Chain A
Amino acid sequence: MKITKINNRNLSFAEKIYLSEIVKGMIVTARHFFANLFHPSRIITVQYPEKKIPLSEAARFRTRHRLKKRKNGDAKCVACYMCQTACPADCIDIEAGEKEESIAEKYPVKFEIDLSRCVMCGFCVEACPEDAIAMDTLIIPGGAESRQELKLSLESLLLDSAETSERGAVNRRISAMSMQNAERKLKNAK
């Protein structure tokens, strides 16, 4: 292994006895202290979860789940339990119901996601054969005072879903892109 020897700059006498440097440092911190004391608006901390910084539309984060809807307003989900099976955190709880006069005869009576356990891995989105679940609401979950508050019910999951949106396929697109990249790299390597 090659050893690199770094020659540190020689310190001047004033630096060696620390004193002037210490005073300089304390002036810097004291200045920050007084500036923030008299102008609290300088502080950039955001009081999460009361206040949140909105994510940009283009953000490709996995965010809170939603269930997509069909044209008639029903959930697209067919209660196939694929997502529940795929979920590594075991936080999806589905109960299936039957419907006579519908496109799909199975539908979820109960669909609950326990966000306190969710690891935001996106496996549920990947697993879904109906493209019915998405993680593109741009809401970052967190900050609740009870566990119950972190359980998403079927209603709240369906709440902000209009039609199947372009954004709905975010997860897929990312993984498709990374697959392509990987393939390209493999080719280049050869």
Chain B
Amino acid sequence: MCEIITKEFLLEIAIIFVKIGILFGAVMALAGILTWAERKMSALMQDRVGPNRASIFGFSLWGLFHPAADGIKMVAKEDFVPDKADKVLFTLAPMLALVPVFVILAFIPFGDYLQIGNLKIQLQISDLPLSLFLFLAISSLAIYGAFLGGWSAKNNFGLLGAVRAAAQMISYEVVLGLTLVGIILVYGSGSIQEIVKKQGEMLFGFLPSWGIVYQFPAFILFLVAAVAENKRTPFDIVEGESEIIGYFVEYSSMRFAMFMFSEFAEIVVVSMIASALFLGGWQVPFLNETGFAFPGGILITINHNIVALIQTTAFAGKTVFMAWLLLLIRWTLPRFRFDQLMKLCWKGLLPLSLANIVLTSAILQWLGSGK
């Protein structure tokens, strides 16, 4: 027997797999529900009823069966590959769009830690010291999915869509990265878990020191850049569902579903990142490791595992709220023209995010806490 494979090692592996399973399942479920929520919410915003016909034994549950019905429909459709398409890349592209989104999940802390006996389980799949940078690096890989999808189909419209997608995503990638520099400066760390932990402190005793408080402009810029990365309205010139032809013209069946699903999974991941960096992640105001500690000196002690549960629930709540906000943005704003889009990025957001960095550093220096 090999000595490296000890009991502890196996346990650790098992725990990691369980964590992956739970987080992956939660994100998949939320993304699936989002496909329904998007339709239902847009309907409610426009004084309509929305999907309500798919039913099982006469129960339609506000149309909750529609995602399932969509899934069945997608599977049943013909899986068409154009004659001239590059078969390998054509098959690879949807996967390249989907995989990076799920890889990012590994760095997202969804809670502090659980204490079972003398086993301490971190509620994060892997805590890397520079996970924020890795997040940026991996999220930029998603461009390959979009670009290869348009390129490999050998369809001119698809190619044009792919070029638009690449131009837009690369441009907004820059802004996305720069807005996060402010966060890194304030919290002095590149690890998302570390940043979330620092957000647990209180400012003046009552204001939670969340990213949105310290870095409000960065939050707005991040939101804009994230929506653009996500390729949804107002930045959906890339695909333009209703009239312009996007990079996935030639896709059908499950391959198309993968593109579609990656978009919704991306909403979830963006919401998670945004709530981790700007809304305090799993932090609940006045809740620390052992229980609530209110300013008046009132202490309520709670078992740490229950605290962790509350924190994870809070994180889920914040994520759902962010996803709701993203849907609201998507169904409120009209689309940008492509030149407006580029102008907004290079002449508007980029200088603003640079100014944010300069200002943040200056203030930190002035306060004498430049780390």
Contacts and interface: CB of A to CB of B under 8 A. Distances in A.
Interface in B109-146: none
A29 B220 CA distance: 19
B44 interface: yes
A25 to B, nearest CB: 5
Nearest to B352: A17
Which one of A22, A29, A44 has the greatest number of beta carbons of chain B within 10 Å? A29
Given A26-B328, A26-B329, A26-B332, A33 B45 contact: yes
A47 B332 CA distance: 26
A25 B332 contact: yes
A30 B41 CA distance: 10
Contact of B45 (A19, A32, A45, A47): A32
Contacts of A36: 44-45, 47
Nearest to B344: A18
A19 B220 contact: yes
B256 interface: no
Contacts of B331: 29
Given A19-B220, A26-B328, A32 B333 contact: no
Interface in B25-50: 41, 44-49
A36 B44 CA distance: 6
Contacts of B49: 43, 45, 47
Interface string B216-240: 0000100000000000000000000
A44 B328 contact: no
A55 interface: no
A37 interface: yes
Contacts of A147: none
Contacts of A43: 44, 47-49
Nearest to A32: B45
Contacts of A29: 45, 328, 331-332
A5 interface: no
Interface string A1-28: 0000000000000000001001001101
Contacts of B44: 32-33, 36-37, 43
Contacts of A22: 329, 332-333
A33 B332 CA distance: 11
A42 interface: yes
A25 B41 CA distance: 16
Contact of B41 (A26, A28, A33, A42): A33
Given A22-B333, A26-B328, A26-B332, A32 B48 contact: no
Given A33-B45, A37-B44, A44-B47, 16 more contacts: A22-B332, A25-B333, A26-B332, A29-B45, A29-B332, A30-B45, A30-B328, A32-B46, A32-B47, A33-B328, A36-B44, A36-B47, A43-B44, A43-B47, A43-B49, A45-B49
Interface of A: 19, 22, 25-26, 28-30, 32-33, 36-37, 42-45, 47
29 contacts: A19-B220, A22-B329, A22-B332, A22-B333, A25-B332, A25-B333, A26-B328, A26-B329, A26-B332, A28-B332, A29-B45, A29-B332, A30-B45, A30-B328, A32-B44, A32-B45, A32-B47, A33-B41, A33-B44, A36-B44, A36-B45, A36-B47, A42-B47, A43-B44, A43-B47, A43-B49, A44-B47, A45-B47, A47-B49
5 residue pairs, one from A and one from B, having the closest CB atoms: A36-B44, A29-B332, A45-B49, A29-B45, A33-B45
